Structure 1
């Protein structure tokens, strides 16, 4: 059955800034515009005019007058990141002054996807998690280096395990973008094209939640990350890319285990095809994102966990909730336990909770 968000849990009676992760379509478009602005020639002298001057005065003198791209500087990237309400960009972002503008934009996209942005909102779709951004940009960069323009996007699409009709749609979108870009697509445009056709997924059921709870509980490192090898196993099961490109499914540990779990839950919702919507109680992708937004509004310290004080803002039966759904015994509720709580309110009717509605 489909849950009706409008009539259940956790009505929000306050306005607060939510923080999530990844990139939504609006943010990707902003980066694409940023790149294109810096690719505009600095010189106003047309190329033909430069060639004539070169013949008259010598090539070396005129090289400085040729149209050239506006090099992306660190301050430009910081300014854009500030528009997304990011903090300490100069400290965390690794700027490579010798890289091309195209590579700098790829580095910026990964950075923006991997760190908190005050302007984020789980409900804004379509969007990509930081894992998806790394996978897609890894493929883009691979074919950008080794494959001629004419066949590049065809081979790139072939690496993605998408339904045939979705692949055709993506191919059509990229063909349009190629035309607009004069035969080339930058990394941000590629992500934008993918977001235009990205399927929503089949949703979330209780079996998926149980697997995510087990992943967080049994495979957490001493320095509070989910073991990278276990994350890779999860992505292998989701089959986002073809077998010969599974080397793209190795990810760095940047955030805490609880925050990694949030992204992995969204990825599961959108790519796991094992959900049977006919026989299971399933939350749609839209409903899952709405619940995640609700979770984040109560997560005051933005650590991906709801503690006793934060749960008090939701219910007066805090002890009962923690006793029932805190599977790892840390006296907090992570995002997977939170969804088990949501399913439990419908599945286990013997427990009553005083939820503020």
Structure 2
């Protein structure tokens, strides 16, 4: 199979952002401009994922990727979720909405989505929250699909390489949204400890032989140059694309990225029960310290609250996922942003080593 770098003209990967941001229009614009666009299948039904793939194929003939969430083990303590639900009762009253039914299946229809992607292959499939089986990776390879596993440590990267992944996406702790750790540690400090991106890249370069995509707080072409110099084959950017008009992020979310009211980010379990980096708002401050390690149960529990807050135009109870570089977000069409990042990368004089692995 050809190198991963053959899929893009510029080493710019648009992160798959679950929850609606990574629409077909965004992925198509990024891929069409020479980057690698991604759809996020997380939280979607298999039919909805397939429909988005059809829409994307109608918009571009360029390569693209689809991201899957790995099934989560039944590790949540029901009693802890019930206690958190009691704490959120006042929120439900304030937003005049019931809390969500949280005792639901946690596999995100993984097997059904994987079956669709094997039956009708796409160029790239990436995985979050774990590493798929060697059999699944081999089946995708046989279908002509390249595979990428999100990792947050050298041990996770080694496991992905041994399982047969074509590449890993090294997610630094600076990244917005959920940390892609394979095993959530409820006892980790700060709602989930993590490794900074440059340190993680250095460790992975001495741990694995497969290509590494870098992710975490990257917003400018100079940032991409830095991770290429550190040994990455490409850079994955999420927050940088949130403000694009093609992004499906809520307008309140887009506005908050550069709003002076939201000056910092932190990792929190408040909205989903898993460590995720977002802008600090009232909900994070009031509920983050008490949220249990219970994903996706807390995600289901808080979903109606987040919808009601969005309808009310209140960003203080939204999950405003954002990386540490969020203040550098630029409201540009996605294709223009890819071209600008490529120009900035060229000006930074980064080594053109994308095809070296």
| Same fold at TM > 0.5 | no
Higher strand share: 2
Using structure 2 for the length normalisation, give the TM-score.
0.28
Using structure 1 for the length normalisation, give the TM-score.
0.28
Higher helix share: 1
Based on CA coordinates, which of the two structures has the bigger radius of gyration?
Answer: 1
